[in-house]
Each structure stands twice: as structure tokens, then as C-alpha cells.
Chains A and B, each alone.
Chain A
């Protein structure tokens, strides 16, 4: 499978980063930076912040490459975990100093759009498919779009407690389905 070949390549690149080979960081950048910018953009909804998150992420990947442990998870998962951490931190910083634009309204955001793009063979897709629409939406809007429980409640038109329970039950059903 292509994913495995890609991941072996990313694993090799992280090992090379750990010994200070900058060309290896560039390999990761060339392969993943566009997707990473997309992931950060979905969460932050601003291009400049998304690129800031990607920049922070690459500095961390470079510094922390030695702490990557292939026994615990794939190289890609590790790289995206670093990125998502940076994006979520920036999101929280931004929330502390809110700007006028974009508060509350999420007209353009649709959970089903992300769902439709999941590969047919994805176990996550198969299991999300089994969730009812509202729980599926809650899980996807939180993970992919960085929505908080409060924002989910607003977007889905339900009380905060309901939004919390939908994400929890949705996540636990996924775990049961995927193992």
C-alpha cells in the first residue's frame, strides 16, 4: 500500500532529522507542507495563522525528531500531532484576543464535506457512517474544524450539555467500531 511506503519514507526522514540532516526536514516539507497548511487552515480559518502553525510545527519536528518513537505510532500521525497541537494552541491564543471577524458564524463549514472525502477503504469512514448524522457532525466539526463544545452547540442548535454528550458518545462508538 502506498501509505506504508510513504510512512517508511517519513520515518526515515525523521531519523535523519534526529541527526541534524536538514535535507530530511525538506523532504517532509515537500511531501506534507501543503496538506499540513490545509489541516491548520480548517482549524484556524486564517491563512496567515495556518502558515504560522506549520512554521512552528516544522521547528518542533526538527527539535523533537529524536523523541519520535516508531513503536508508538506512525511517522505521519506523529507529524500531524505536532501540527495539530500548534494549531490548537494558536486557536486558543486567538480566542483570548478575539478579532471582529468570524465569531460565532460558521456558514461555510460542513461536516459532511470532510466525511465525503474520506477514502472508501478507511475504517474511520466505515465507522463514522454507522453514527447518526448529529454525532458524526459533532465529532468531525470538533476534530477537523477545531470547534469547541460551545461552538458545536451554536452550530448544531443544541444546549451545551447535548453537544458534549454527542461528541463523547460519537467518539466512544467509533472506538467500539474500530477497536
Chain B
């Protein structure tokens, strides 16, 4: 470590460099790992001072402005791979460092592991397509269909549906008029159900889902025969 770099890192973190020196230091951080490490050490050393600043609750509109600017910017899944491998490398690095660090490495592994499990679960929790199925007559919503990135599709009813004895609710999807509607689920009363689209092409935008009233056991013809209770098409949530 050169003493000059050390002082440069210290003054950079303390905000003592002028604009030119600052951008030069930023370039060094991006290109020179040793220098980046010095900067990180100085940040860690001085960081307690940030916690002495007064807490000033920002204007309520600030979050709205941030949210608006983020807009529909999506992060790519590929981006996480870099982070994942770094998390893994950092665990390895910690292990190799010293015997003493083993315990902290394990603690870190647990935290990082939990964070990733959570993150992955979250990724699949948000549907890639959503359809709200509404009644043609009343315009009331009766159910929501959620299609997830891993291919799962579920239907969640939003209202009680009156099913007479000897009848059942059948759920259909139509993605291609030439193929016609395909049955993807059969239930005897309104309940959340996982739809079976395993053999169909991946769910896309503007794909029709509908619920019809059919004989118990399902439509005898393989096509919808009863009245359409609710229908709607898929959209991509923001």
C-alpha cells in the first residue's frame, strides 16, 4: 500500500478532493482493486459519523418521485448471477482468510443464503401475467388468474359462485383461435386452484381465460358447452 494512495483514499472518503481529483479517484476505484479496498476501509472507519446526523423525515412526495423515476425499469435475472457468485466467493474468501473467521463466515453464509432464498421466492411470487375475469352481465370481477415465471398458473376466486347440484366450474384458456379453447381446470365450487397448462405453450399477453358452468365431471365434448360466467385476458403487471 502506498502512503500516497492511502491519503488519497482518506481524503476522497472525507470529501476533501476537488472535482478533478474526485473523478480521478473514482476511475481508480473502478480499475484498481487495491485502491478500492483502501477506500472501503476508510468508509468503514468513518461511517459512524453518518449516524450522528439528525434524522430529517423527508417530504412524503419524495418516495413518489423516486417510484415514478424508477418507472418500469426492470432488473434482469442475469444480473443476480453476478451477485450470487460474489456472495459465494465472499463466503469462500472469508473461510480462507483465517480460522477465526470461520464462525463469521458461517453466520454470513446463513444470512446470505436466507437472503437469496427469500429473493428467489420473491421473484416467483410476482406473476408475469395477470388476468381479471369479469362477468359479462354484471361487469363484476369473479376471479384472478396469475401466471408465474416458472410456468405455474393459478386461479383465485374473488366472489362466491353459485354452482347448482350436478354441475361444476370449468376453466378454459384460449391462446390461438385456430386451436380453440383448452380445459385447464375443473372445480365443484369457487376455490383457489392451480391450473394445468403444462402441455400448453407459455402463457402470453392477451391470452383469454374463462370460467363456464358445465356438467359435473366436465364438459362432455371437450369444448365449453355451458354459459360463460367470467372471462378476461392477461396483461403484464407493472
Contact = CB atoms under 8 A, between A and B. Distances in A.
Interface string A1-30: 000000010011001111111101110010
Interface of chain B: mostly helix, strand, loop or mixed: helix
Contacts of B45: 124, 174-175, 178
A125 B19 CA distance: 29
B15 A143 contact: yes
B227 to A, nearest CB: 40
B55 A34 contact: yes
Interface string B47-58: 111111111111
B137 interface: no
B10 A142 contact: no
Given A54-B58, A174-B45, A70 B90 contact: yes
B51 A35 contact: yes
Interface stretch (B116-124, B160-168, B178-186, B197-205): B116-124
The number of chain A residues touching the other chain, given as a range, is 35 or more
A158 interface: no
Nearest to B80: A19
Contacts of B36: 72
Contact of A18 (B6, B73, B79, B126): B79
A45 to B, nearest CB: 12
Contacts of B75: 17-20, 65-66
A109 interface: no
Interface residues of B, number: 64
| Most A-side CB within 10 Å, residue of B11, B50, B67, B93 | B50
A68 B62 CA distance: 24
A139 interface: yes
| Most B-side CB within 10 Å, residue of A19, A68, A149 | A19
Given A139-B14, A167-B11, A8 B111 contact: yes
Interface string B19-48: 100100000000000001100101111111
Given A35-B55, A62-B73, A171-B10, A15 B66 contact: no
Interface of B: 6-7, 10-11, 13-16, 18-19, 22, 36-37, 40, 42-59, 62-63, 65-67, 69-70, 73-75, 77, 79-80, 82-83, 86-87, 89-90, 93-94, 108, 111-112, 114-116, 118-119, 122-123, 126
28 contacts: A12-B119, A16-B115, A16-B122, A17-B75, A18-B80, A22-B67, A25-B70, A29-B66, A35-B53, A37-B57, A41-B53, A55-B62, A59-B69, A62-B70, A66-B83, A69-B86, A70-B86, A74-B44, A88-B22, A92-B19, A92-B22, A117-B52, A118-B52, A142-B15, A143-B14, A143-B49, A144-B52, A168-B7
Interface of A: 8, 11-12, 15-22, 24-26, 29, 33-35, 37-39, 41-43, 47, 50-51, 54-55, 58-59, 62-63, 65-66, 68-74, 76-77, 80-81, 84, 88, 91-92, 114-115, 117-119, 122-125, 139-140, 142-144, 146, 148-149, 167-168, 171-172, 174-175, 178
